[in-house]
Amino acid sequence: MVKLINNPVYLVDGKLYESKESLPAGVQLSDAKNGTMAWQILAAHNKGSAEQLKITFDALASHDITYVGIVQTARASGLEKFPVPYVLTNCHNSLCSVGGTINEDDHVFGLSAAKKYGGIFVPAHQAVIHSYMREEMAGCGKMLLGSDSHTRYGALGTMGVGEGGPELVKQILSKTYDIARPGVVLVYLSGNTVPGVGPQDVALAIIAAVFKSGFVKNKVMEFAGPGVANLSVDFRNGIDVMTTETTCLSSIWETDSKVESYLAIHDRKDAYKKLAPADVAEYDGAVVVELEKVKPMIALPFHPSNAYSIEEFNENTMDILKLAEEEGKKIIDNPSIDFRLKDKVKDGRLNVDQGVIAGCAGGTFENIMMASEILKSGHMGTNDFWLSVYPGSQPINLALARNGTAAALLEAGVTMRTAFCGPCFGAGDVPANNALSIRHTTRNFVNREGSKPSNGQISSVALMDARSIAATTANGGRLTPATEFGIAEKEFEYKFDDSPYRNRVYQGFGDAHTELELKFGPNIVDWPKISPLAENLLLEVVTVITDPVTTTDELIPSGETSSYRSNPLKLAEFTLSRKDPSYVAKAKGVQTYETARLDNGKIYNEYLESVRAATKLDGLHRGNTCVGSVVFANKPGDGSAREQAASCQKVLGGWANLALEYATKRYRSNLVNWGMCPFIMKPEDAETLSVGDRILVPGLRSALLEGKLEFAAIQINSKGDSKELVLALPALTGDERDIILAGCLMNYYAGVK
């Protein structure tokens, strides 16, 4: 089904060769590394060298959880007008009512920013961010940057990159996105899917194969091969958007007449051009997918990579659920919660409580059409199970209404909703306690469905394709692969009508009204003042997380907290609340010493004196030694691109993270852009860390200015005993160094030193 090749592979005239030795005689490889589609697009957008890239993007996109902070940061850094099209969508906080008026206040702010700076504003309920970008902005050979991790438009010939807000700020200020040249992994598709297999099934099979080994981490996934032509564009989009869950940097696909037709249907025929690898192209490895062997899949809680074929699952239900329960309890890490899945099994088959088809992954026209076709074969029933469908955009909703599908779904008892991302991050269709939901959305992390383990609540999500969700619905909630219905993929006529956009979307690019004022609600607050890095950095360990991977959802929860993302101080109160409820109080406790340092408070001297005694360093004083909290995690940063996973730590006085490695490039970038050192430490040193330990990094500022990437540090335990250790900042660029020295990106652009 999926095979990984962990060595250089080659495409020669479209044919895959799995090693250099297997190549035909006479093949020239001198320029083969530059033959990938990825490099062709990167090179066209690069202002740097061939190895250290400085990328400029063609367009930007944010939603209502992120754009307020981005505009506020850019405004503090000298923003005058948006230099490229910047789309502000409203698809995350459109239904959440926490905090009274504050969600709509953000929307009012967003529209005022679009008018003042020349942006594009998509009102609430009109479109999921990525649906709009596919329909209106993607084009062959383009690069788009979004402040959402699922910024993926590779199937339309567009390299999409999801990053934290500060990277968008750089583009808004006409700076560049700076990265080392990424590796490129070929995803070679052959054959065709069987009836009942959908894009989520293919995506989950790939994620399961590559995630744990980091096979494509921070690389570009390049889709090619004879199987591409057998898939519709909606099907390709459904696979492509899930590439984020592999931890890759971006994705790109071959384009063909189907893509040309898709863009023409969306009134953008000029956005098409043929994309294909060169006659000879070299890749760093390959993911070989035989589409005909892919089966309907289910990804059990709590990660998309925890995936099995439904066939295998049904044959080994109790054994697989026992393992899922054991792993789930470790992730939840709350002995008061009795996390159970096995009690969902009746007569040997899993029975689920809820189904959702939604968002950028599930809410496409073809997914909903196929779900409707399958639902004709059965009945949802009036028991516990129920199904909600969220079309990804109003044009899709309009097409479903006009062709009768919306009516058919309503007649079947399905709840039809507007374009909204809530089910994907815990702000819509929250299941009951101990319930299990099956969803064609992007993620199934713990808490992503909206439950609160810290309050004794737990529900969970299994990811599936819309087709098998429909099959399960037709069986009244009894887990059923869509292959049991044998309904083949159909070509449905889609008529795109952009009337909802023409009548509601504010198109302001190139027409900035700089004289207008921004409209602030009471929850929209400026970033607090942040100090530059002193000569010496003194850290106190406030949290130690030993899980194999830590997600951004665990660092700053999603769901109802999203309403407070325009208020850095209020949002920071939720930091690590579901992983370490004591974190905020501990971080604030450490922050009091830094506040005292800046305000000449006595407690700073008392705090520092114990460090002098332990280290025998007399030259430490308030003028040269700043104090901050630090979090250790083995591998933090999987999941969302949200900058708040870092900024909330900074607001509470965080100056660094300690890790064995970082799960994603975007989380590491968020740390740097908020002036936090993304330190790497040795495993043997990490084993000795405890909450309350202090780590002094003497001469850090001078060492950074000298270009050093490794730093001698001193660890002091609660008894006052000390030991030496080494911290590293591998691959730190000159600009990243200067941002850390300044204390954050805003300070850097404001000239703070």
Structure tokens at 191: 């054959």
Scored b (16 or more CB within 10 A) or e, 280-308 reads: bbbbbbbbbbbbeebbbbbbbbbbbbbbb
* Alpha carbon distance 631, 645 (integer Å): 12
Exposed/middle/buried for 517, CB within 10 Å: 0-12, 13-18, 19+? exposed
Q: Are 651 and 590 in contact (CB under 8 A)?
A: no
Question: What number of other Cβ atoms are within 10 A of residue 342's Cβ?
Answer: 13
Task: Output the pLDDT for position 15.
Answer: 95
Question: What number of other Cβ atoms are within 10 A of residue 43's Cβ?
Answer: 12
Averaged pLDDT in 10-residue chunks for the chain of 753 residues: 96 95 92 97 97 97 94 92 97 81 94 98 97 98 96 98 94 95 98 97 98 96 98 98 97 98 97 98 98 98 96 95 92 86 93 96 97 88 88 97 96 93 86 94 89 86 97 95 92 95 97 96 91 97 95 86 87 91 96 95 92 90 96 93 92 97 94 97 95 97 96 93 95 94 93 77
Structure tokens at 65: 């959880």
* Alpha carbon distance 22, 43 (integer Å): 29
Task: Output the pLDDT for position 188.
Answer: 98
Q: Please tell me whether residue 234 adopts helix, strand or coil conformation.
A: helix
* Alpha carbon distance 211, 229 (integer Å): 26
- Residue 672, CA distances (Å) to 108, 180, 646 in order: 30, 16, 9
In 641-730, beta strands by DSSP E? 654-659, 677-681, 694-697, 710-716, 722-728
* Alpha carbon distance 60, 221 (integer Å): 21
Q: Are 336 and 502 in contact (CB under 8 A)?
A: no
φ, ψ of residue 554 in degrees (nearest 5): -80, -30
Instruction: Dump pLDDT digits (tens) for 367-403.
Output: 999 999 999 987 777 788 999 999 999 999 999 999 9
* Alpha carbon distance 281, 29 (integer Å): 8
User: Residues with Cβ < 8 Å from 605, sequence gap 6 or more?
Assistant: 622
* Alpha carbon distance 731, 753 (integer Å): 22
Q: How far is CA 113 from the centre of its chain?
A: 25
Q: Are 459 and 448 in contact (CB under 8 A)?
A: no
Structure tokens at 597: 């340092």
Task: Output the pLDDT for position 618.
Answer: 86
* Alpha carbon distance 523, 501 (integer Å): 29
Give the position of tokens 């969600």: 103
Angle at 168 between CA 250 and CA 572, to 5 degrees: 105
For the chain, domains (ranges, CATH) are 297-499 (3.30.499.10), 536-750 (3.20.19.10)
Question: What number of other Cβ atoms are within 10 A of residue 30's Cβ?
Answer: 7
The total number of residues written for the chain in this structure: 753
The neighbouring-strand residues paired with 551 are 638
Q: Are 400 and 496 in contact (CB under 8 A)?
A: no
* Alpha carbon distance 551, 32 (integer Å): 36
